[in-house]
Amino acid sequence: MHLGFLKGGEDHWNQHSGDLVDLWHGEGPAWGLNGTYSGYMYARFATAVVTNFTAARKKDGTSKLFMYLPWHNTHTPLESPPEFLYPTTLKPDDPNRQTYNAMARCLDEGVGNVTDALRSAGMWDSTLVIW
């Protein structure tokens, strides 16, 4: 199962790359998913994968899950949800630095959400995370 882009440099909010929307789910366009900040979208998708895997494991004994989760939060374009923006003390007059820091904060929250889902599913102790 795949959720992501085929190109690169997509807008974080509307997943546009030039004039086209570049967001795919499985083998086709991810109709209806674009328009959400990508960091939120990836976190929701990954936590749903963990939840669905847990249900499948209970039903049919599925025991292994591999997830490759390449967030692109800390890549251009520099865009962030406003709730993660706050002044930086390192370069207070640098809005690019402020936005980049906010993008990293959003990424951190998303990773936390996924690890919380793994813990809730009882999978954390047998999970290997490579950062």
pLDDT at 57: 77
Domain that holds residue 73: 37-126
112 or 32, greater pLDDT: 112
pTM for the full predicted model: 0.84
Percent of the chain with pLDDT strictly greater than 90: 40
Specify if 22 maps to a domain.
no
Q: Is the dihedral of CA 33, 35, 38, 39 positive or negative?
A: negative
pLDDT at 13: 93
Question: Whole-angstrom Cα distance, residue 21 to residue 23?
Answer: 6
Specify if 121 maps to a domain.
yes
62 or 7, greater pLDDT: 7
Specify if 32 maps to a domain.
no
Specify if 65 maps to a domain.
yes
Specify if 3 maps to a domain.
no
Please tell me the total count of domains within the chain.
1
